[in-house]
Structure 1
Amino acid sequence: MHRVIFAATALFLAASPAFAACGGSFGTFVSGLKAEAVQRGHDRATVDRFFASVRQDPKVIRADRAQGVFQLDFTTFARRLISQHRLNAGAANARKYDSIFDRIEAEYGVNRGVLLAFWAFETDYGAFQGDFNTLNALATLAHDCRRPDLFRPQIFSALELYENGDFDPARTTGAWAGEIGMVQMLPGDIIENGVDGDGDGHVTLKTSAPDALMSGARMLRHLGWRPGEPWLQEIDVPDGMDWSKTGLRTAMSPQQWQQMGVRPRSGRWLSDQPASVIIPQGRKGPAFLAYPNFSVYFEWNQSFTYVLTAAYFATRLEGAPVFDAGNPEPGLSDKQMIRLQRRLVARGHDVGEVDGILGAKTREAVQQVQQELGLPADAWPTPALLNRL
């Protein structure tokens, strides 16, 4: 899921004297983890057994530093991830687990397409769940001083799973960022939202699709999913509309958007709830209306391109047509994007990390500077904009 950790957990750890510990000798770091685990009330012998096999994994750090796939534009990224195989397998799994999806929709109000899309993108419906040792990955990332507050609490959640008989520190494997199972959940999320969907007394996300799907649905509901409501709808936008109103900062009713010339690409409006017009490749590219449930996707993954692709794929699995890619203006290369971000920062804009990725903050900064320059404020950076700056 590559998800942010619950705020309550972060607040708890902020009060812990060991919270900020990272870096230095890995052995000393692990000793600190063990001492904190005992301080939290875990049995010392159990703690020793849990940490006996832990090792630092340099491959985890390399994977953390090399996430170039998120530098692709939406159309390229979506075409790469959405294959006919994934569409066919999604339909087959929808039929195979129809009764489970019925339970999910009744209990949590999460559409089957939403879960099928995550299942496909995270592990290809369980076919490849990652081969990184989970405890090693979590310990390595907690020891690394970039984001210890995200990963350190997950180690203690994994210890709790171990005590419950649902985690093997030497053999449990998953993604490089510590997620486990078919829909890739962090240990803390499993503790908080794990569901025994198949009734065997355990939450086994690696081998039980019912457990994985119901746990994922429960987590989405916990994160604010609104039962029975849509999340995304493809639209047509008119030439010359007020592009400054596009983006996730502005939400209006579909009727208000319609007064501006926006129309559903097919069918009717799916809801009367306030929604945002998002145009991931500018005013000449694809366009979507994002309803309130769309924001929940960012609790699962913080990449705008991934989120939009997952949300669109969910609609596709439920019968939506292939999106209209339009004819967007060329975007920027990685190096050009870094130059743009640096120039935006120099003008006083917050772009987040200068990383060559067109994330939400960079999009907002681009839109603001387009308005300053009197350009169509569609938040899509082009070589022409870079030259103007």
Structure 2
Amino acid sequence: MRTLVLTAFLAVMVSATGALAQSGCGGNFSSFVDGLRAEAVQRGVPRSTVDTFFRNVRQDEAVIRADRRQGIFQRPFLEFSRALISQNRMDSGRRNLDRYRSLFDVARQHYGVSPGILLAFWAFETDFGAVQGDFNTVNALVTLAHDCRRPELFRPQVFAALELHARGALDPASQRGAWAGEIGMVQKLPSDILNYGVDADGSGSVDLARSVPDAILSAANMLRAKGWRAGEPWMHEVVIPQGLDLTRTGLRTELSVSDWQRMGVSARHGSLPSGNMRASVILPQGHRGPAFMVFHNFRTLFEWNQSFIYITTVAYFATRLEGAPVYAAGNPEPGLNQDQMRDLQRRLQGRGFNVGGVDGILGANTRAAVQDVQAQLGLPADGWPTPELLRRL
């Protein structure tokens, strides 16, 4: 196996955050592309390579619409997880584990990453490679770099894609992928491919679109580099007792497993890990819904995707693929619709809370703010916003 290493050339281009910030975003699209061209040449990329890379680039309005339309992340955990975890995906996951067992053994032995996690991402990102996206990758990245919502994320990815092109690993005219510029079966951005790509099949190049070994071991390599610890758990379903101090739930609080057990938290099935291991208890749909104890490895998954609901579902699906039973759904209180959530976020902002933006999504910042204001109002402080909380505010 050979791992692609980020070159000094790319490191200079991507790490120069001050220069990138000065380049700005928005304005005339052609002028913006001219600026990218000039910056690439200034940093030492041959003009012929730059010309080929940017020759046919165009703004893709469908990319912007997709970026603004991420409504699935507004669903509550039970609805979201049931939508993503189908019986077909369960069956396909088990078949792929059997088919590529030796590959997943390498992922576990060499990188320390459990098969369930890799299968879960592979399933959710592309249905095991079947749906990899049909957006032109260069158009998507340049469009999102020009857009002023997240230029600090996507502008460096343009130059990472340029480096892939310079290496002969990306054809700007034909490379297709997701609307956000991710490529291949496990949907990685160009800088991830440069940093963590593994030529697992010995072909001489990293091909995340067609090579299952390259895709799986590249994903494992990235997770290990982001802090995944071999042999440690990531999630275990638990039962919480009546009367638990709910202000201690959520990702902001870490206690030892023993501490949680002394407070009455117990495993719903099997047994919890070592009593000295640090853990949080999360209630993705409040104290009347499922409860999970999560560990360090769960937190590393946010390096892949920052959506709380997505990562919680990935982690849970991984436990299912490795033999855990279906969660106890409970009977959660009704939540808020998108307009109500935005109203809630505005009201929380008005009280001085940082909710991370008024987007209608119950992310980590909004959950923390909800939990704090619930405690102030004498409501169950479980981080799950309800119509009653909105009424009280």
TM (normalized to structure 1)? 0.96
Question: How many angstroms apart in 2 are the aligned matches of 1:30 and 1:339?
Answer: 38
CA deviation profile, 1:324-363 (whole Å, cap 9, x unmatched): 1101111111111111111111111111111111111111
Tell me the equivalent position of 2:71.
68
Aligned to 1:374: 378
Q: Deviations over 1:45-104 (max 9, x none)?
A: 111011111111000000000001000000000000000110111011111111111111
Name the residue aligned to 2:327.
Answer: 323
Instruction: Tell me the residue number matched to 1:279.
Output: 283
Letter in 2 for 1:72: R
Identity %: 62
**Are residue 231 (structure 1) and residue 237 (structure 2) matched?**
no
Amino acid at match of 2:81: A
Is 1:350 equivalent to 2:354 in the alignment?
A: yes
Residue 341 of structure 1 aligns with an amino acid whose one-letter code is: Q
User: C-alpha distance in 1, partners of 2:13/2:125?
Assistant: 25
Partner of 1:289: 293
Deviations, residues 103-126 of structure 1 (Å, cap 9, x unaligned): 111111000100000000000000
Change (3 A) 1:256 1:245: same
Q: Partner of 1:5 in structure 2? A: none
Q: Name the structure 2 match of 1:335.
A: 339
CA–CA distance in structure 1, aligned partners of residues 193 and 286 of structure 2 = 38
Deviation string 1:131-177 (CA, Å, 9 cap, x unpaired) is 00000000000011111111011111111111211101011011100
**2:169 matched residue in structure 1:** 166
Q: Residues 214-229 of structure 1 correspond to what in structure 2 (within 5 A)? A: 214-229=217-232
Stretch moving more, 161-170 or 128-137: 161-170
In the alignment, what sits opposite 2:133? 130
Task: Tell me whether 1:26 sits opposite 2:29 in the alignment.
Answer: yes
Shift of residue 20 of structure 1? 3.4
AA aligned to 1:260 is M
Q: How does 1:162-311 map to 2 (within 5 A)?
A: 162-272=165-275, 273-311=277-315
Q: Could you list the per-position Cα deviations for residues 231-268 of structure 1 after superposition, in whole angstroms to 9, with x for gaps in the alignment?
A: 00000011111000000011111111111110000111
Distance in 1, Cα, partners of 2:100 & 2:42 = 43
Match of 1:3 in 2: none
CA–CA distance in structure 1, aligned partners of residues 238 and 348 of structure 2: 30
Alpha-carbon deviation of 1:32?
A: 0.9
1:112 aligns with 2:115: yes
| Residues 122, 43 of structure 1: alpha-carbon distance in 2 compared, 3 angstrom cutoff | same
3-state DSSP of counterpart to 1:90: helix
Q: Is the 8 A contact 1:243 1:378 kept in 2?
A: yes
Runs of 4+, deviation exceeding 6 Å: 8-11
Partners of 1:49 and 1:225 lie apart in 2 by 39
Q: TM-score, normalised by structure 2?
A: 0.95
Give the letter for the 1:317 counterpart.
L
**Distance (whole Å) between structure 2 residues aligned to residue 22 and residue 32 of structure 1:** 10
1:17 Cα offset (Å):
5.8
Give the secondary structure class of the aligned counterpart of 2:333. Answer: coil
Quote the Cα distance in structure 2 between the aligned partners of 1:65 and 1:19: 25
Give the aligned partner of residue 41 of structure 2.
38
1:387 aligns with 2:391: yes
C-alpha contact 1:10 1:149 (8 A) present in aligned 2:
no
SS at match of 2:142: helix
Distance in 2 (CA, whole Å) between partners of 1:267 and 1:17 is: 51
State how far apart, in whole Å, the 2-side matches of 1:40 and 1:166 are. 20
Is the CA contact 2:241–2:264 (under 8 Å) kept in the aligned structure 1? yes
- Structure 1 gaps of 5+ residues are 1-7
- How many angstroms does 1:10 deviate by? 9.4
Q: 1:208 Cα shift?
A: 0.3
Contact 2:144 2:180 in 1 (8 A): yes
Of 130, 134, 145, the residue aligned with 1:142 is: 145
Counterparts of 2:231 and 2:23, CA distance in 1: 41
Aligned CA RMSD, in angstroms, stands at: 1.3
Report 1:94-113 matches (<5 A): 94-113=97-116
Whichever residue aligns with residue 16 of structure 1, its letter is A
Seen in structure 2, the aligned counterparts of structure 1 residues 329 and 29 have a Cα distance that, compared at 3 Å, is same
Distance 1:271 1:31 in 2: 57
Aligned to 2:8: none
- SS of 1:15's equivalent? helix
> Residue 229 of structure 1 contacts residue 271 of structure 1 at CA under 8 Å; is this kept in 2?
no
| Whole-angstrom CA distance in 1 between matches of 2:20 and 2:189 | 23
* Contact kept? 2:192, 2:222, Cα under 8 Å: yes
CA gap 1:229/1:59 in 2 versus in 1, 3 angstroms: same
Find the aligned partners of 1:310 and 1:161 in 2 and give their Cα distance. 29
